[in-house]
Amino acid sequence: MADKSIREAHTPDAAPDAAPEAGVSEKAPSRDGISRRKLLGTAGATGFVLGAAGGAVGYAAAPSEATPLSSIGSNRVMFHVKHQPGITEGLQARGHLVAFDLTAGAGRKEAAALLRRWSATAERLMAGEAAAHDDTDVARDAGPSSLTLTFGFGHSFFSRTGLEKQRPVSLDPLPDFSSDHLDKARSNGDLWVQIGANDALVAFHALRAIQKDAGSAARIRWQMNGFNRTPGATAHPMTARNLMGQLDGTRNPKPTESDFDKRIFVPSSGSNDPAWMANGSYAVVRRIRMLLDDWEKLSLKAQENVIGRRKSDGAPLSGGTETTAMDLEKTDAQGNYVVPGNAHARISRPDQNGGAAILRRPFSYHDGFDADGVPDAGLLFVCWQADPLRGFVTIQRKLDRGDALSKYIRHEASGLFAVPGGAAQGEYVGQRLLEE
């Protein structure tokens, strides 16, 4: 289940949840002539506070001392970059995934106008500014908070806009997998938007602005909400945990690796993809429900054998630390593999899948409980690769044939989207496709 909530191959080495983001600025642009930093520095705030001495907890009955905009709020990700934002940045605390379908009568012209609006709004909001029209003021007091907006096209988009000849072969529908229990109403879509931020109100503000911008050109097909650990919540940056309690993302490929771009991004030349996909990537999106009641009945040892790693620190069962290379041949006194043959971490490794690797960048989700008290919770799995067939599909097929984790998860929704490269200054996302 290439996307498993605990991806290992795609679990590669997910960027630490508290890692700083590339292209980040410490200053948020001003609004109405007053910077948000200055605004928050002069505004009073009431609420839950921690005493500086001894960590005492209490409620402030009067405005607290003025404080500057925190580092979380001031972090800004740039919109006009080589690759769209929201792919290589560190995990954000809040996320929204939303798919749209073009409305009846809307075609290429309407789609181009919509992407132009969305790009302009994304640029403003990521800079900490208000939307150009009818801003809701939901994020008025906050800085950019590492907000990113990422846009992609689904398989059906091209027939709706008369651009079938420009549809990439890599966007062919994903094959069926044994763990699939897919809800078609919550899968696929003409257009896809990923929103992430380190503040819940900033993320919601962006979601609402994008929805309003859609106007009469597109309607929401499905929408999902996710979360991760807030940066700074741990004593030091570390790989995030998922709702099973496992470190999730240990083996994510790193941008510093020499073959990172080759694995994750479409090259500007020399590929079978159309020219408009240069510097872009393909996003596989899966809603993976974790069967937590069943999982939590397992002993700690049994859970670790399913994954192949220690729950406490993510180290392989063969020994060492989280980043120690897994010894797949190590056996115990009885001659059994220390890392079981069907362990998720073993099966999903790139060296067990012809070198296939993906960049996992998920969000956890919780959508309440059913009538029996069973949690509807799991992973909004998002993975990135230059070629879905050589990335996600290769790994998922291998997992489908015997991953111990498959018993405790269920894939309930799915989508595959072509995400073009970043928009140059003065351009909008997808312009090279829509105005070619």
**∠ CA 200-116-162 to the nearest 5 degrees?**
115
**Burial call 106-142: b when 16+ CB within 10 Å, e when fewer:** bebebbbbbbbbbbebbbbbbbbbbbeeebeebbeeb
Q: pLDDT per residue over 252-282, tens digit each?
A: 999 999 999 999 999 998 889 999 999 999 9
Q: What is the pLDDT of residue 69?
A: 60
Q: pLDDT per residue over 361-382, tens digit each?
A: 999 999 999 999 999 999 999 9
Mean pLDDT of 338-357: 92
Q: pLDDT per residue over 139-189, tens digit each?
A: 999 999 999 999 999 999 999 999 999 999 999 999 999 889 999 999 999
pLDDT band at 43 (very low <50, low <70, confident <90, very high): very low
Say if CB 36 and CB 141 are below 8 A apart. Answer: yes
Residue-averaged pLDDT of the chain: 88
Check residues 346 and 50 and name the one with the higher pLDDT: 346
Backbone angles phi, psi at 148, to 5 degrees: -135, 145
User: How far is 344 from 342, CA to CA, in rounded Å?
Assistant: 6
pLDDT band at 436 (very low <50, low <70, confident <90, very high): confident
Instruction: Indicate whether 41 pLDDT > 50.
Output: no
- Tell me the whole-structure pTM to 2 decimals: 0.84
Q: What is the pLDDT of residue 13?
A: 41
pLDDT band at 82 (very low <50, low <70, confident <90, very high): very high
Instruction: Indicate whether 410 pLDDT > 80.
Output: yes
Mean pLDDT of 221-243: 94
Q: Give DSSP secondary structure letters for 86-126.
A: SSSSPPPSEEEEEEEEEPTT--HHHHHHHHHHHHHHHHHHH
Tokens for 191? 């257009």
CB within 8 Å of 76: residues ≥ 6 apart: 23, 24, 25, 27, 28, 126, 127, 128, 143, 144, 146
- Least trusted range by pLDDT, from 24-28, 260-264, 280-284, 412-416: 24-28
Check residues 146 and 23 and name the one with the higher pLDDT: 146
pLDDT band at 21 (very low <50, low <70, confident <90, very high): very low
Q: What is the pLDDT of residue 65?
A: 53
Residue from 411, 407, 249 nearest 343 by CA = 407
User: How far is 142 from 29, CA to CA, in rounded Å?
Assistant: 11
Q: Strand, helix or coil at 406?
A: helix
176 is catalytic: no
Residues 3, 13, 213, 248: which is the catalytic one?
A: 248
Instruction: Indicate whether 50 pLDDT > 60.
Output: no
Q: What is the pLDDT of residue 106?
A: 97
Q: What percent of the chain has pLDDT over 70?
A: 84
Instruction: Indicate whether 22 pLDDT > 90.
Output: no
